[in-house]
Amino acid sequence: MTESDKNASGTLIIIGGHEDKDGKRLILHEVAKHLRGGKLVLATVASHEPEGYFETYQKAFGALGVTEMTELYVQERAETLLPEKQALFDGAAGVFFSGGDQLRITSQIGDTPLEARVHEIFAAGGVIAGTSAGASVMSETMLVRGSSSESHRIGDLHMAPGLGLIRDVMIDQHFGERGRIGRLLGAVAHNPRMLGIGIDENTAIVVHAGSFRVIGAGAVYVLDGAGVTYSNIADGGQNSALSLTDVRLHVLAHGDSFNLGTRRPNHAPDVESSHELELNQASDT
């Protein structure tokens, strides 16, 4: 976690997908709370067919008191230079990235005036939210594709630069529902410095000032590879199953919080307590 991440004044709400839009709307209510009555830009850039997205979210957010919304969609990258596209961000208190294909977001608005406006809103204390593909794109390095529901094969993972709103983590979504722990382990094996965060559907992490808390119906999985002692990621064949030892896993639920600087859940004892329990177990066998 860099010093700039700790000092960032904005809030990220990173959603695992399929958030409730008709019932209690717990996650969308969190977004609305951070808007404080301000304008929301709904970025439907991730979708190849964005029709209907804006109307659905306009209805859901409208019931929560968000009365000023506008839609950002970019068909071609050159459109990011249009003054009318850039003006959509004027006076905005937040941006919400809907689902689809995360590569559409980075390829269309990455390193453009529109991405700069997103970062400006965040730096000014605004809220940036994203669901599904809109969640994956938040990180500096994002997962693009890889097999789900099976053990990870070394060559079966594709990553790309994200928007860099949160650093030193990689995010996967629809996590428990699609059995994606294998591919997140593969991502962590590629770069143990980075935390892997898997977020279930209708679940989110609310990130602010170097820590996050969990809200929603599912779980959040944090994979920490800093203590990994062995992996075959560099030496195994493309179709070889991943071998990885001493990776640490945290499973967090609604109300739990996590410090990204210390890489520890806030409610957990020091990691030394875990090590002592391991030693006691080893001495008993």
Active-site residues, by number, are: 132, 150, 174
Place of tokens 């809030």: 11
Q: What is the identity of the amino acid at 38?
A: G
What are the DSSP calls for 55-109, one per residue?
HHHHHHHHTTT---EEEE--SSGGGGG-HHHHGGGTTEEEEEE-SS-HHHHHHHH
CA distance 92 to 69: 9
Helices and strands (H and E) in the chain: how many: 9, 17
Strand partners, 211: 208, 259
- H-helix or E-strand containing 129? strand 127-131
CA distance 128 to 85: 18
Among residues 46, 71, 45, 47, the alpha carbon closest in space to that of 57 is found at 71
